[in-house]
Amino acid sequence: MTVHVGISGWRYAPWRGTFYPRGLPQRGELGYAADRLSSVEINGSFYSLQRPASFRSWYEETPPGFLFAVKGGRFITHMKKLAGVDGALANFFASGVLALREKLGPVLWQLPPTLGFDAERIGDFLARLPRTTTDAAALAAGHDHRVPDPWTQTDQERPLRHALEVRHASFHDPAFVRLASAHGVAVVAADTAGRWPFLEELTADFAYARLHGDEELYVSGYDPPALDMWAARVRRWHETGRDVYVYFDNDTKVRAPVDAIALTERLADLVPARVVA
């Protein structure tokens, strides 16, 4: 069981000359981050369909053992609100996700704050998610014209994990926890400075946390006591026999990479050994 600590996205102009050394070419930013962290959450896939060439490039720019989480498209979660999404799911998985090969980690599905808990809607969506890369490739074959350069193959069958981040108070419901557990989907422990629900139930064979800001959403950093608290929480999850994925999304003031490195240092015995300070 391994712990991966990373950042949500890596291309942010304010990071240049601060986290990234001055003069580092933009094409070198992912590699620079990957030398210091063991995982990155791809969030461009949330806003639009990416292309296989991009996924292949990201694969090549990162070292062995590195993992990507991939954020599912907002067309599925925010516009379609999980209903009638067979074609959209096919397009998402045909966009190149499987080109990440063994570096493909969990797929993150973030729901909008306006979408409350509806057991039938949530259960139907979770049941449609592919559980292996072979299943995902078969689903991808049903893509439409919105994917002009589809990637519908997998180099090897692997398990495919899914995590669900909710943002409506109605998900504070034991029925939701039971539903996520029945489908083996991780409920994201999202630290949102109290703005949205915080759920810590373990519902899958891995745990997934997103840290959006300790006091102010997307802005606040995490001080040493807060990082110690999160390190202890991650250790508890890991002790249950689970892999753990933690991503910092407090990017506004260049806190995300600093905090991710600081948490990595606190968990040095659990993260991949190749990560450098």
Q: What is the pLDDT of residues 130-163, one digit of tens each?
A: 999 999 999 999 999 999 999 999 999 999 999 9
With a cut of 60, say whether residue 210 has pLDDT above it. yes
Distance CA 57, CA 62 (A): 9
pLDDT at 208 over 70: yes
Structure tokens at 250: 């407090």
17 alpha carbon, distance to own chain's centre: 26
Question: Is pLDDT of 216 > 80?
Answer: no
* In the chain, domain spans: 3-266
| β-pairing verdict for 186-187 and 243-248 | unpaired
Nearest to 40 by CA among 65, 84, 79, 6: 6
- Predicted local confidence at residue 250, as pLDDT: 78
Q: Can you name the residues that pair with 247 across neighbouring β-strands?
A: 6, 210
What mean pLDDT, rounded, does the chain reach? 95
Are the CB atoms for 205 and 245 separated by under 8 Å? no
The tens digit of pLDDT for each residue in 51-69 reads: 999 999 999 999 999 999 9
Pairing of strands 67-71, 186-187: unpaired
pLDDT tops 90 at residue 273: no
- Closest by CA to 197, choosing from 177, 179, 182, 227, is 177
Structure tokens at 111: 């729901």
Q: For residue 122, which amino acid is it? A: I
pTM (2 d.p.): 0.95
pLDDT(277) > 70: no
Structure tokens at 254: 């260049």
Residue 275 — pLDDT band, cuts 50, 70, 90? low
The CA distance from 227 to 225, in Å, is 5
CATH number of 3-266: 3.20.20.410
pLDDT band at 1 (very low <50, low <70, confident <90, very high): confident
Q: Which amino acid, 230?
A: W
CA distance 9 to 70: 10
